[in-house]
Amino acid sequence: MLLAASIQVKPIGWWGWISQDRSEILSDLLHHLELTLVAVAIGFVIALPLAVVAWKVRGMRPPLVVITGALYVVPSIALFALIQPLTGFFTITTAEVALVSYTLLILLRNTVAGLDAVPDDVREAARGMGYTPAAELVRVDLPLAIPSILAGLRVATVTVVGLVNVTAFIGQGGLGQLIIQGFNESFGEPIVVALVLSVLLAGVADALFVGLERLAFPWLRSRRAIA
């Protein structure tokens, strides 16, 4: 309540401010999108082999889940403080390392769940056809786990879209920069615009993954409808 009351909207007007600062808004939006895509992509590249190891070697699953879970629950500001001496103060590397760390648990667990869900008789059929363990993984297990992997990417992407705003505290926040600007200037429009665009970006990302899943796996939709 006190925070909301402290924001005083300048008389420039919504469309006037947006028109004057549209290049800055677009730049922050693109930066926000770039930070998100890079973090999810790197997180996936790291999490996929870790998930395969956790699935193949059962003893590795608990420690990997504990480590990625610990990274997931560390508050973002605290994580920035911990890694900045190693990755540099106020750098994009610091922002990306923090964002990637929040994707690992989500991607790891979903990928392992997808691999666990592959029917044993399908694996037996693959072995009967002479598939090596590597060929079975690449041609049978991972393709059948794709729906679960996509679900993990979907959740990780939406999560990172929201977390990117926090990186504004180290000068890399995308739309979060507008939020900082709004609070510094007691100006409400940048805050509202940043929040609305963040929500829209998360919604678009979610819808894209849902659409991709429905196009790639139409039988899943019919199965859910029957259920």
pLDDT digit string (tens) for the chain, length 227 residues: 444 444 444 444 556 667 777 888 899 999 999 999 999 999 999 999 999 999 999 899 999 999 999 999 998 888 888 898 998 888 899 999 999 999 999 999 999 999 999 999 999 999 899 999 999 999 999 999 999 999 999 999 999 999 999 999 888 878 999 999 888 887 788 888 999 999 999 999 999 999 988 887 776 655 554 44
Determine the structural domain holding residue 166 and report its residue range.
27-217
pLDDT at 8: 47
| Residue 14 belongs to a domain | no
| Residue 8 belongs to a domain | no
**Buried-state track 68-98, b at ≥16 Cβ within 10 A, e below 16:** beebeebebeebbeebbeebeeeebebbbbb
| Residue 127 belongs to a domain | yes
pLDDT at 183: 87
| Residue 9 belongs to a domain | no
| Residue 17 belongs to a domain | no
Q: What is the CATH number of the domain that holds 123?
A: 1.10.3720.10
Q: At what angle do helices 22-56 and 61-73 cross, to 10 degrees?
A: 160
pTM of the model: 0.86
| Residue 103 belongs to a domain | yes
Query: How many C-beta atoms surround the C-beta of residue 51 within 10 A?
Result: 28
| Residue 197 belongs to a domain | yes
| Residue 22 belongs to a domain | no
pLDDT at 217: 76
Count of structural domains within the chain = 1
Query: How many C-beta atoms surround the C-beta of residue 2 within 10 A?
Result: 5
Burial, 4: exposed, middle or buried (Cβ in 10 Å; 0-12, 13-18, 19+)?
A: exposed
pLDDT at 22: 83
